[in-house]
Structure 1
C-alpha cells in the first residue's frame, strides 16, 4: 500500500473539504451517475500534474473550482492533496511520507507543494516517475478508456508500455541528457563561432604585442646604453669640473695679482696727475706774470709815445707823417700785447719793439741836425735823457721777456715730461685694466661653466639614481671621448629604432591579455564542451542500452502475462504483442499476411509505424485485427493487456474508472478475481457499479449529490 490519503477541497463538485483513506489493496468508489465519482479520478489526475483540460473534462483551469449553487456560494480556490507512504523508499527522498499538493485560484494561477515546500511541476513529475507513477494513460484509466490500450495507436501504446516497464525515469534522464546535449551543441557552436571571430583579431594583437616586446627590448638596450653613457658622462663631467675648478682658482689668483698691479698703476697715475696739476698751476702763475709784463710794456710804450709827442719837432708838419707811421706801429704792437698768451708771442713783440726803437733813433738822428739850431740846449738834453730812458726801458723789457721766455721754456719742458709720463702710465694702466677685465671675464666664464657643469653633474646623478647606479660606479667606467661619442651614436640609433615602435599602444598588451584569456577560455570551453558532448552521448547511449535491455526483458514478460490474462478472460484463444522499431522494420515475429483476411488486415499490416501492435485470436473465430473486434471484445482485450502490464510493472496504485461497465456477470467475476490477485502488489482504486467488484474491495466510499454538491460516505468491508 502506497497511497494513504486523498484530500479534496473546492475541487469541481466537492465544495467542502473531504478526505479519503486507502488502507487496503482494493478501494471502491460507488454512487449514482452524476454524483461526482469520476471527479475523484480527475482530482488524482490533476494533483499528479495533468495539464490537459480535455482529460480533466474542463475548458479552463477556473472550471476546476467549485462554482457554487443557489444555496451555496462559490469558493476562491481548489486544492487537492495526496499522501504517499514512503517507508519502502519508492521515492528517493528522506521522508517516510510524501505529500503532494496542488492549488488553483480564480485567476488561473497554479501552485505546487511537496511536503509543505513550494516546488515546480517538473519536480513533482520527476519525483512521481521514480515510483512509476505517470500520466501517460495507464495509472488512471477513466471512463471511455477501457479499451484505450487497444484503441491507442501503436506509438501511444508503446509509450504506455514503456512507462509501465519503468522506463519513464530513464526517458526523463535521456530527454534531459538530450536537452543538455542540444544545449551543449549550441554552446559549442557559439564558442566556436566566437573563436573564429576572435582569432584574426587575436593574431593581430599578438603581432602588436610582439612589436611591443621588441620595443621593450629596445628600451632595455637603450637603458643599458644610457646607463653606460651616464656613467662615462659623469666621469667626464667630474673631470671637466675639476679642470674648471682649477682654471677658476688660477684665474682668481691671476686676477688678484693683476688687480694688485692695477692698483699700483692707479696710485702712480694719481701721483703723476698731481705733478701735472702743479705744473699747470705754475703755468698759470707764468701767465699772470706775462699779463703783468704786458701791462707794463703797454704803459712804457705809452710813456714813450707821450715823450715823443712833447718834442718840438713833433709839431713839424713835414715830419708828422713819419712819426705817425711809427705811432701806428706802436698801436699795432699794443693790440698784439693785449692778445699775448705765450712766450713766442712775446718774442715776436719784442722784435717789433726793437725795430720801432731803431726807427725812433733814426728819426731822432735825422732830426738832430735840423733841430740843432732850433732847439735849445735844454731840449736836446731832455731828448737825450728821454732816449736813454727809453733804451733802459727797452733793455728792461728785453730782460723781462727773456726771463719769461726761460720760464716758459722750463714750464714747457716740465709739461712735456709730465705729459709723456702720464700718457705712458695711462696706457700701461689701460692695458692692465683690460687685462684685469679679461681675467674677470675669464673668471666669470669659468664660474658659469662650473655652474653648468654642476647642473650637468646633478642631472647625471639624478639619472644614475633613476637607473639604480652609484656614483662610485662612474670611476669604474672610464671611456675616452671617442668612445663616449660612439656610445652617443649608438644611443641615437637605438632611440630612432624605438621611436619607430612608438605607434603601438601600451594598452594593446592588456587588450591582448584579455582577448587571449577569452580565447583560451573559449578553447577550454570548446574542449570541455566536446568532452561534455562525448560524456552526454555516452550517457544517452548507456541509457538507451539500459532502456533497451529493460524493455526487451519486460516486453517479453509482458507478452507472457498478456497471453495468460487473455486466455483467462476469454477461456482460451491466442494473443501476442509485436514491437515495430520503425516503419516496415519489425522487432519480433508476426503472422504472415495470408493468415489474415485481406479486407481486414492486408496492406495495413505493411504500413505499421514504430510502436506495439496487438494480435488477438478469439476462441471460435478467425484471427482478426484488434480494430475489427467488437466493442466488448476490445474492452476485454484492453483489460487483459492492462492486467499484463500491472503484473509486469507492479505499479504502486492504479485508478480504474468504470472500466468493468461493459463486462457481463461472468467476466465481472473474472475481473474481480484478477484484481484480488494483483492487489497483493498493486493498490487499486476502482470506481464501479458492479457488485462483484464492490465485493472484492476492502473499503467502500459512497458518493452522493445534493443540489450539485458532492458528499462522501465511507464503509469498511470485512
Structure 2
C-alpha cells in the first residue's frame, strides 16, 4: 500500500485545487503523473518511490504536511499551527477573497490489501465549512472520526505516528519524556490498533459491569416483593382450590333445590293451564254476549233508521196533503164552472159522509192507540196522524159547506182543468200508496224492536249466568296463581342466590340433580365458607402483578446472566489482546532497538545507541492489597468475584490494567556518539539530536514499514556529510517505503524521482510546479 496522490482545495494557502501524485516504492516501478502512465522500460533502473517538495520559505510547503495530518483526523489546532478550526480554510488576501470550504482527499493504493477494506483504492477525505459543518468520508461514504482512526491504526500509520514528521519536530521523540515516548512507540511497533480495541473492550467491560450492578440492584429490590407475591399467589391457589370444591358442592345443593321447585311447578302448571283455558273460554262467551248486547244497545243506529222512516213518512204525507189540496182546488174550480152553468148545488150523499167519518174514526182510534202505547216510534206517528185527521175534518167541513157536486146544466167546462184534475188525482193516489208503504215499514220496524227487546232481556240473563260461572272459576284459578306465584318467587330468589353464590346460571339447564341430604350439605357449605374466611381475601390483581414481577425478575436474571457472560468474554478478549500486545511489543522493540543501533552507527560512523524499557514496579502495599484480594475471592475466583471485592477501591478498568503486574510506563534512550560519554540525551547538540532522531525513525520504519513517510525538513540541521549519510539511509529504505520529503538539501533531492516546486504569488495562493527527473536526465543527455 502506498500514497497515490493528494488533492487539496481551500486548505490554508492552497486556494485552488491542487493535486500531487507520487511514485510507488520499489525498483524499476512506473510513474503515474497527471493521469499519464509510463512503463518501467522507459525508466532508468534505480530507486523510485521518493518525492521531494522544494520551495522558498513561506511558500506553503509545510501546509501539505498539515493537510495530510488534517485529513487523517488531527484534532489538535496547535499541531496544525492554528487557533480556530476555521483557520485551516483559505482566509483570503488582498487580491483573492476568502473561501468557505476546505477539503483534502488522500488516495491510497490498497492492491496488497494491507488496509482492512475491500477496495483496491481507498480515498479518505475530510471537509470543513466555515459554518462549522464537517464530515469524514471513506470512498464517498460518510464515517465517524473514530472509524477513520481505527482504520489507520489497523494500517500502521496515522497523523501522530512516525510516518509524519513535521518541521522542527524531528527531535521531539528524543526530547520527550519516557511516558510520551511510550505512546509513540505503541504506534511504532504496530500495537496501536490492539490498544484501541483493548481500550474499547475495557470501556465496554466497565459499562457492562455498571449495568450488571444496576441489574443486581433491581433484582435485590424486586426479590422480596416477588417472594411476598409468591406467598400470596399460593394462598390464592389454595383459596381457588377450596372455591372449586365449594362451587361443586353449591351446584349439588342448589341444583337439587332448583330441581324440586321445578318439579312442583311442573305439577301445578297443567291445572293452572286448564283453568286458564276454561276461564278464557268463559271470557270469550261473555265477550260475545256483551257484543250482542252492545249491538242491541246502539240506540244511535236504531234512532237513525226510525228518523229516516219518519222523515220519509212525513215527506210522503206532506206530498199527499199538497196533492190533496191541489186536487180540492181543481175540484173547486170545476165546481165553480159548473155553478155558473147550474145554479143548484148537489150536496154530499149520506154514504159518502159516512165513509169519510169512518175514515176519520179509524184514524182517531189509531192516534189513541199510539198515544196509549207510549212507544217512541208510535208517539212519533201521533203528530202526523193528527195532521192528517185535521186535514180530513177540514176537507169534510168544506165539502159540507160548499158541496162540490152540483147539478149540471148543459154547459162547456175547461178541458185543461179536467186534465189537471186527473193528473193530480193520479199523483194523489200514488202518494197515498207511498204513505201506506212507509207506514207499513214503520209498523214492521216497531215489531222488530219488540222482538229485539225480548232478545235483550234474554242476553242479560245469559250474561248473568255466565258471569257467575266465570267468577267461580276465577276464584279457583286465583288460588292456583297464588300458589304458582309463590313457587316462581321462591325459584327467582333461589336463582338470585345461585347467581350470587355460584356466579353463573347456565349450568342449571343441563344439570342432572342428585338427591342430597339438605342439612348435611348446608353444613358442609358453611365449613368451606369458614375456611375461605380464614384464608382471607386476596387481590385478584395480585396474580397479574405476580406474573409481571416474575416476568421482570426472570428477564433481569437473564440479562444479568448475559452481562456476566459478556464480562467473562470481554475479560478473555482483554487478556488475549494483552498477550498479543506484549508479544508483538517485545518482538518489535528488540528489532527496533537493533535497527536503531545500526542506523545510529551509519549516521555517526560508530558509537552506541540503545532503547531501555522503564517498568513500574509493584509497591509492597499493592502486593499486599493484591494478596488480600486474591485471598478474599480464592485463587480459583473468577473476574466477577474479583471485581466484587475490589469495586469499592478501584474501577474495573483500573483493576484490569493493574492485574498484569509490571506495567511499562516509558522508554529511555541511550545515545553516545563516538568518542563521547553522555549521561543524558539532553546533553547532545542539536545536530546530534536530529541524527539520533533520524536513526530512531529509520529504525522504526525498517521494523514496521508505514505505507508512506512524510519528512518535513528533518535534514535542516545536518551538514553536508551527514546529509549524504541521511540520503544513504533513504536510499536503503526506499525500495519498500514511499518517502515524501520536504527539503532544501541537495543530497536529499538527489535521491528523488519527482521534484515538486511550491511557490506563492502576490495573491497569497500556493502554486505547484512538477519535474520528472527521468525525463530531465534524458534531456540533459541529449
Quick check: TM above 0.5? yes
| Contact 1:576-1:614 at 8 Å conserved across structures | yes
1:74-130 deviation per Cα after TM superposition (whole angstroms, max 9, x unaligned): 111111111111111112122111111111111233221111122111111111112
Name the counterpart of 2:645. Answer: none
User: Are 1:42 and 2:66 matched, yes or no?
Assistant: yes
The runs of 5 or more residues in structure 1 that have no matched partner are 253-434, 586-607
User: Are 1:633 and 2:700 matched, yes or no?
Assistant: no
Q: Distance in 1 between matches of 2:14 and 2:155?
A: 28
Name the counterpart of 1:675. Answer: 730
Name the counterpart of 1:713. Answer: 769
Q: Distance in 2 between matches of 1:120 and 1:227?
A: 74
Q: Distance in 1 between matches of 2:131 and 2:475?
A: 112
Q: Alignment partner of 2:135: what SS?
A: strand
Q: Distance in 1 between matches of 2:678 and 2:494?
A: 119
Q: Distance in 2 between matches of 1:190 and 1:57?
A: 46
Q: Alignment partner of 1:474: what SS?
A: coil
Q: Distance in 2 between matches of 1:57 and 1:213?
A: 78
CA separation of 1:628/1:74 partners in 2, compared to 1, >3 Å: closer, same or farther?
Answer: same
Q: Distance in 1 between matches of 2:533 and 2:125?
A: 77
Q: 1:524 aligns with which of 558, 568, 574?
A: 558
Q: Distance in 1 between matches of 2:572 and 2:92?
A: 56
TM-superposed CA distance for 1:443, in Å, is 4.3
| Contact 1:583-1:610 at 8 Å conserved across structures | no
Q: Distance in 1 between matches of 2:740 and 2:479?
A: 127
Name the counterpart of 2:87. Answer: 63
User: Are 1:141 and 2:157 matched, yes or no?
Assistant: no
Q: 1:701 aligns with which of 756, 763, 774?
A: 756
Name the counterpart of 2:639. Answer: none
Q: Distance in 2 between matches of 1:441 and 1:664?
A: 142
Q: 2:709 aligns with which of 654, 659, 662?
A: 654
Name the counterpart of 2:512. Answer: 474
1:175-214 deviation per Cα after TM superposition (whole angstroms, max 9, x unaligned): 1101111110111111111112222222232233223323
Q: 2:252 aligns with which of 224, 228, 232?
A: 228
Q: 1:208 aligns with which of 226, 229, 232?
A: 232
Name the counterpart of 2:356. Answer: none
Tell me how large the CA RMSD over aligned residues is. 3.0
Q: Alignment partner of 1:677: what SS?
A: helix
Name the counterpart of 2:576. Answer: 542
The runs of 5 or more residues in structure 2 that have no matched partner are 25-48, 277-471, 620-662, 775-782
TM-superposed CA distance for 1:171, in Å, is 1.0
Q: Distance in 1 between matches of 2:707 and 2:668?
A: 26
Q: Alignment partner of 1:50: what SS?
A: coil
Q: Distance in 1 between matches of 2:7 and 2:274?
A: 121
1:552-578 deviation per Cα after TM superposition (whole angstroms, max 9, x unaligned): 111111111111111111111111111
Q: Distance in 2 between matches of 1:709 and 1:577?
A: 44
CA separation of 1:474/1:71 partners in 2, compared to 1, >3 Å: closer, same or farther?
Answer: same
Q: Alignment partner of 1:218: what SS?
A: helix
| Contact 2:495-2:505 at 8 Å conserved across structures | no
Q: 2:520 aligns with which of 486, 489, 510?
A: 486
Q: Distance in 1 between matches of 2:272 and 2:226?
A: 64
Q: Distance in 2 between matches of 1:461 and 1:219?
A: 14
Q: Distance in 2 between matches of 1:72 and 1:562?
A: 48
Name the counterpart of 2:459. Answer: none
TM-superposed CA distance for 1:689, in Å, is 0.5
TM-superposed CA distance for 1:153, in Å, is 1.5
Equivalent residues in 2 for 1:229-628 (5 A)?
A: 229-241=253-265, 443-452=480-489, 455=492, 466=504, 469=507, 473-475=511-513, 477-479=514-516, 483-498=517-532, 503-582=537-616, 610-628=665-683
| Contact 1:241-1:453 at 8 Å conserved across structures | no
| Contact 2:233-2:546 at 8 Å conserved across structures | yes
Q: 1:92 aligns with which of 106, 116, 123?
A: 116
TM-score (norm 1): 0.66
TM-superposed CA distance for 1:234, in Å, is 3.4
Name the counterpart of 1:15. Answer: 15
TM-superposed CA distance for 1:56, in Å, is 0.3
| Contact 1:137-1:160 at 8 Å conserved across structures | yes
1:246-275 deviation per Cα after TM superposition (whole angstroms, max 9, x unaligned): 9989999xxxxxxxxxxxxxxxxxxxxxxx
Name the counterpart of 2:146. Answer: 122
TM-superposed CA distance for 1:532, in Å, is 0.4
Q: Alignment partner of 1:624: what SS?
A: coil
Q: Distance in 1 between matches of 2:498 and 2:249?
A: 16
TM-superposed CA distance for 1:497, in Å, is 4.2
TM-superposed CA distance for 1:617, in Å, is 2.2
Name the counterpart of 1:132. Answer: 156
Name the counterpart of 1:4. Answer: 4
Q: Distance in 2 between matches of 1:133 and 1:443?
A: 112
Equivalent residues in 2 for 1:142-161 (5 A)?
A: 142-161=166-185
Report the more deviating stretch, 111-120 or 4-13: 111-120
CA separation of 1:635/1:441 partners in 2, compared to 1, >3 Å: closer, same or farther?
Answer: same
Q: Alignment partner of 2:750: what SS?
A: helix
TM-superposed CA distance for 1:8, in Å, is 0.7
| Contact 1:240-1:453 at 8 Å conserved across structures | no
CA separation of 1:228/1:168 partners in 2, compared to 1, >3 Å: closer, same or farther?
Answer: same
| Contact 2:272-2:477 at 8 Å conserved across structures | no
Q: Distance in 1 between matches of 2:274 and 2:162?
A: 123
* Structure number with bigger Rg: 1
Equivalent residues in 2 for 1:177-196 (5 A)?
A: 177-196=201-220
Q: How many pairs were matched up?
A: 511
Name the counterpart of 1:379. Answer: none
CA separation of 1:488/1:618 partners in 2, compared to 1, >3 Å: closer, same or farther?
Answer: same
CA separation of 1:584/1:575 partners in 2, compared to 1, >3 Å: closer, same or farther?
Answer: farther
Q: Alignment partner of 1:579: what SS?
A: strand
TM-superposed CA distance for 1:227, in Å, is 2.1
Q: 1:684 aligns with which of 712, 716, 739?
A: 739
Name the counterpart of 1:282. Answer: none
| Contact 1:464-1:471 at 8 Å conserved across structures | no
1:317-372 deviation per Cα after TM superposition (whole angstroms, max 9, x unaligned): xxxxxxxxxxxxxxxxxxxxxxxxxxxxxxxxxxxxxxxxxxxxxxxxxxxxxxxx
Report the more deviating stretch, 681-690 or 447-456: 447-456
Q: Distance in 1 between matches of 2:216 and 2:560?
A: 7
CA separation of 1:231/1:709 partners in 2, compared to 1, >3 Å: closer, same or farther?
Answer: same
Q: Distance in 1 between matches of 2:555 and 2:531?
A: 36
CA separation of 1:213/1:472 partners in 2, compared to 1, >3 Å: closer, same or farther?
Answer: closer
CA separation of 1:9/1:178 partners in 2, compared to 1, >3 Å: closer, same or farther?
Answer: same
| Contact 1:234-1:461 at 8 Å conserved across structures | no
1:415-451 deviation per Cα after TM superposition (whole angstroms, max 9, x unaligned): xxxxxxxxxxxxxxxxxxxx99998886455333443
Q: Alignment partner of 1:46: what SS?
A: helix
Q: Distance in 1 between matches of 2:225 and 2:487?
A: 57
CA separation of 1:485/1:149 partners in 2, compared to 1, >3 Å: closer, same or farther?
Answer: same
TM-superposed CA distance for 1:701, in Å, is 0.5
Name the counterpart of 1:31. Answer: 55
Q: Alignment partner of 1:696: what SS?
A: coil
Name the counterpart of 2:188. Answer: 164
Q: Alignment partner of 2:485: what SS?
A: helix
Q: Alignment partner of 1:3: what SS?
A: strand
CA separation of 1:116/1:643 partners in 2, compared to 1, >3 Å: closer, same or farther?
Answer: same
Name the counterpart of 1:297. Answer: none
TM-superposed CA distance for 1:470, in Å, is 7.1
Name the counterpart of 1:426. Answer: none
| Contact 1:233-1:460 at 8 Å conserved across structures | no
Q: Alignment partner of 2:126: what SS?
A: strand
TM-superposed CA distance for 1:486, in Å, is 2.2
| Contact 1:584-1:609 at 8 Å conserved across structures | no
